[in-house]
Amino acid sequence: MAAATRSAMDRASQFLLGLQKEEGYWCAYLTADTTLESDYILLQLWLHAPDADGQWNPPNRPQINRAVARILSQQLPDGGFNIYAKGPSEISACVKAYFALRVAGLALESPEISRLRERIIALGGIQAANSYTKVNLSLFGLYPREGTPSIPPEILLVPGKLLYQMSSWTRAIVVSLAIVHAHDPRRPVPAGLTLEELFIPGKSIEFQESDSWLSWRNTFIKSDKILKLWERYGFARIRKDALRKCEHWMLERMKYADGLGAIYPPMQYSIMALDVLGYPREHPLMADAIRQFDSLMVDDGDTLFFQPCFSPVWDTAIGSYALGEAGFGDRPEVTKAVDWLLDLEIRRPGDWSVKRPDTEPSGWAFEFRNDWYPDIDDTAMVMLAFPHMKASDPARQEATRKRAIDWLLAMQSSDGGWAAFDVDNNWQFLNHVPFADHNAMLDPTCADITGRTLEALAANGIDRTSFAAKKAIDYLLREQLHDGSWYGRWGVAYIYGTCFALRGLRAMNEDDHEPHIQRANEWLRSIQNPDGGWGESCASYDNDIYTNAESTPTQTAWALMGLMAGGDTYSSSVKNGIDYLVSTQRPDGGWNEELLTGTGFPKVFYLQYHYYRHYFPLIALSTYAKLNP
């Protein structure tokens, strides 16, 4: 087995080296569901209105046709659209697709639309879609505004920096969308287009209240009614001041970034916001916003799809770490990668500094440029890779390393864990506001990022005697579930959380004979598939419990990495898992994988990181080879 493992590692390493870009970084495609293509068509309708006769003839019609083809290629046998591979139809994805396809010209009587309409009605009708879908439709007069949540620009006038108690991505969406919402647009649609056929007669468009009369949800619903009155009768001067502050906030965060937030939703809304604010298409800010948004499109003239963002820092850090673990850290390609990473260290204060004003800026963002939002997970991954990497300027690398470690330590939340972008972003009552059903209102601490951060700290000389490590270890022990697993926030799902919690504890020299480690190991062994691999469905998030799926190289690697971190180095479970990875490896050194294993917003938005299936098996094989020479 040792020879087969070594051979698989070498092939995987050579394959990974072949994926590196000339500039020194790795960046895989990052793909999701059809909602991105649907929203693209919505934005084109916003930017290119129908003519006086209601005919829609946008200048980029060929691209729109390819977006339509992409959407239709994903239609399920039941007529609907899902949000993860092999998952069921999901109502918001279905409604968005219906709108986009109808706008693009598919007839009401076409078989694709007929089947989709039946599926939407079966799923609860348009009234069952999420708030952002309804808001989007209301901008075109296709959903009653009274049935959508108010998104007031006055949120920037609220004392106590309420905006910064929301997650970073919600912040960027809310501010740009508040500008759009406050202008109350009713953009035209092609002649004859209506969505009345998607409404279930007699079903209310009102927000559903909680059964308990004393609840945050009911409080926010009542507040929303007050806000709607304010929108109609409030002081124009206050609203004008709020809009001016929102505009300034948005424009500031479009600087030093590849689009607002450098992610699809706020980039889309920022274009719409600039439009309602009166910026002409030729204005440099508008032209750049559209250019950055269009850069997310992958279009070869035959197939078109959108990426939600780019992932070069994340890919480069994981790829470099995987190569280092496999013994390739001294390669010139890895030196090129670390030099590229050093150039991308963020040295400006960002939104995070609202709560940490005295902390020296450092860290890395997920994307090429997003200086307002360095994130803890990427920074920890870079720090984990650094010991394997030798920059052409060692002194610069060491200075950067020290700053980044200090930044990570400063970004620890009071509960001992680490979140993605912020500190103590955990006001749970905000999850009950009407527009919080994208399931990402907050950025709470989580086991997977905490485990990875502990691993990174350990790789840089910080041990379990430190105050930060003690708090983080206690946090992980509190977060462990009764069955022995940990919840994974940023990867699917319990396998992911368990893997990185165990690796963090192992890095801090937690005794693998401890009951909590043994319970985690036993849980991982208990869910192994008969073929020797592991797999988990995105449905785990819906079911609040591990939900089995076919084996994937990525999740098999995570399970093996977790087991070996927990001290299981040569059980039949581990050997069978290694056999699975070796036997499913392609001749070129990579692996195939269909299921999505990345998490954007649990229950709402999932991601396929196309290089995960190459990075993580290599890490698992390398770990096994070291433990079993």
CA dist., res. 291 & res. 258, Å (int) = 9
Active site residue 358: no
Parallel/antiparallel/unpaired status of strands 30-31 and 605-609: antiparallel
CA dist., res. 612 & res. 319, Å (int) = 9
With 0-12 CB in 10 A as exposed, 13-18 as middle and 19+ as buried, what is 268?
buried
Place of tokens 């079993």: 628
| Phi, psi angle pair for 403, to nearest 5° | -60, -45
Q: Residues for the chain: how many in total?
A: 629
Nearest to 459 by CA among 367, 324, 559: 324
CA dist., res. 397 & res. 573, Å (int) = 40
Three-state SS string across 55-73, please?
Answer: CCCCCCHHHHHHHHHHHHH
Angle at 547 between CA 523 and CA 595, to 5 degrees: 110
Tokens of residue 355, six digits: 């709560």
Task: Encode 225-248: b = buried (16+ Cβ within 10 Å), e = exposed.
Answer: eebbeebeeeeeeebeebbebbbe
C-beta separation of 573 from 528 below 8 A: yes
C-beta separation of 336 from 321 below 8 A: no
Nearest to 553 by CA among 541, 539, 536: 536
In whole angstroms, how far apart are CA 515 and each of 99, 140, 452, 478, 480? Answer: 53, 58, 21, 13, 12
Q: Which of 224, 377, 437, 512 is catalytic?
A: 377
What is the H or E stretch that residue 338 is in? Answer: helix 332-343
Q: Which stretches within 191-311 are classed as H helix?
A: 216-233, 236-253, 264-276, 284-294
In whole angstroms, how far apart are CA 305 and each of 34, 54, 291, 603? Answer: 8, 27, 16, 22
Please count the other Cβ atoms lying within 10 Å of the Cβ belonging to residue 256: 13
3-state secondary structure (DSSP) of residue 267: helix
Catalytic residues: 377
